[in-house]
Amino acid sequence: MKKIIYFLLFAIGIHSHLFAQKNTIIQGKIWAAPNDTITITHYPSKIGSLRVGGIINKVITSTGTFSLLMPTYNHPFYLSIVSKKFGYLVLNDLFIEPGDSLMIRSIFEDPANRKDPFIQITGRNADKNQLQHFWNHANYYQKIKLPYMIFAGMDSNDEEGKGKRLQNYLAYKHYWDSLKTKQPYTLSSLFVKIFEKDLEVMYVQSLLGISLGAFNKLVKEPNATDKIYKLNYEYKSTIEPVIISLFKDFNTEILSPKFLDLAVLKTILDARFSISSDGAIPTSEYLKSLAQWPDFCKQEITTALISHVYSRDINIDRENDFAEKASKLIDKPHLKSIINEFVQNYKPGTTILPFVMTNANGGVTSIRDLQDKVIVIDFWFTGCTACVIMSKVLRIIKTNIGGNKDLVFMSISVDAEKERWLKSIATGNYTESDNINLYTNGEGIEHALIKTYNIGGYPHLIIVGKNNKLISAKPPIPTNQKEIIKLENFIRKALDN
């Protein structure tokens, strides 16, 4: 009897231990800084590169120490960590499996002397995350020796361009293989499959970029129908089969952000090819393009596309109509909640997220103090060439409208350093002194306003009507005189309402 009882207690102990292994613990110690905020965001489902659907935990620390017990999931998920004080200290899309326990430490004590900060990751099942960081760190700081340096917009749709990308992919793959064999790492088969597929995804996406770049040029040319037809044929016969083959072999229990970004890009390109126009794409064409995807990933791709339609500059006729119809393809609750959040945040007539920020005069400005105004908000950062151009565009519009007392121009910088922001204002390149110039109090891209509207590219505009009601969280960014007039008329209409 004693043996049986002992066996039962032993079995219960094993079961409890296995259950405890499901708990995921994230802890670490990075550089100490007064009142630093470590933001830890995990995504039960990461919808591409967009930071949507994340669950945020913030740890305020002056010692650089943080610790967090993650919720219990029965599937892998992605996690990101950002330091407010050291914005360049970012761990993005760490692949986490149930039961992982990570200790994250900065290798170098003095961040001021490090241009390429490096992180040591140890703990249960941490080998994969350390290898992720090895590879991402080397790639970001261009330590992987690539045969070719490729710049956006420099290629045509030819075999030479495709060959260069293949050679770069092989170099990436070789570097990854060399990392794996440096020492006996313990890596889950799922992680290896997804990471290596992501390397292929990067390669295939670069091929797709060739077709998209060529299409964007041709569609602006007069009488280019035959050229577009030829481009579409080449794409369908050479690049699309590679994509289809890749997707057939990507049926895993979790879809990577890179995988979903590639699917969104292909969906958009197919819809644009279908009408061969630079104009707004009808909802029906996007829905047709979505039909190509297999069931195991269709709902996630649809959610990712809706997210891109709302938060990126994508030509579409009536985005709310598309979201309503596309959301009918989705029945997974966590995906529906992401879409509902987008619809609520971006719907014209909703109240913009309230915010209070430091202004250039040393005081603070609240959006609530401007409820009797129409507000044109532009977002920028120091070093952004396109932001300088946008400042000149807004100056033209401001002059044309003639100083309407109901119209306010507000410029928000996402610079993390206050002194840098003030120096950039003084140049007059990014904004004007009579604008309301605001600073995100050091939070940069982690500020709640930036995150709520998923601002990932700059410059970015938001137009707010009276009573702080949203008119558009994504008005068009003008690239020519015709589009400047269109934006000006859009603002005039807001003033009339």
Could you read off the pLDDT tens digit of each residue along the chain, which spans 497 residues?
Answer: 333 333 323 333 333 343 344 689 999 998 888 888 899 999 988 998 888 888 999 999 999 999 999 998 889 999 999 888 777 678 899 999 999 999 999 876 665 656 667 889 999 999 999 999 999 989 988 889 998 877 655 555 567 888 888 999 999 999 999 999 888 899 999 999 999 999 999 999 988 888 888 888 888 888 888 888 898 998 998 888 888 888 877 766 788 999 999 999 999 999 988 888 777 788 888 899 999 998 888 999 999 998 888 877 677 777 777 888 888 899 999 899 888 888 788 888 889 999 999 999 989 999 999 999 999 999 999 999 999 999 999 999 988 887 788 999 999 999 888 899 999 999 999 999 889 999 998 888 888 898 888 887 889 999 999 999 999 887 877 877 888 888 888 888 888 87
* C-alpha dist (Å) from residue 341 to 106, 230, 241: 36, 41, 35
Torsion of CA 294, 300, 304, 306, to 10 degrees: 90
CA-nearest of 28, 30, 27 to 111 is: 30
Does the model's pTM come out above 0.75? yes
DSSP assignment letter at 238: I
- Max distance between CA atoms of the chain, in angstroms, equals 94
**Placement of tokens 């140049």 in the chain:** 427
CA-nearest of 28, 94, 15, 18 to 61 is: 28
Within 8 A by CB and 6+ apart from 63, the residues are 29, 32
Provide the 10 A C-beta neighbour count for residue 254: 18
Structure token pair of residue 273: 């090819």
**388 close to 430: Cβ distance less than 8 angstroms:** yes
Domains of the chain, CATH where assigned = 2-129 (2.60.40), 159-346 (no CATH), 356-496 (3.40.30.10)
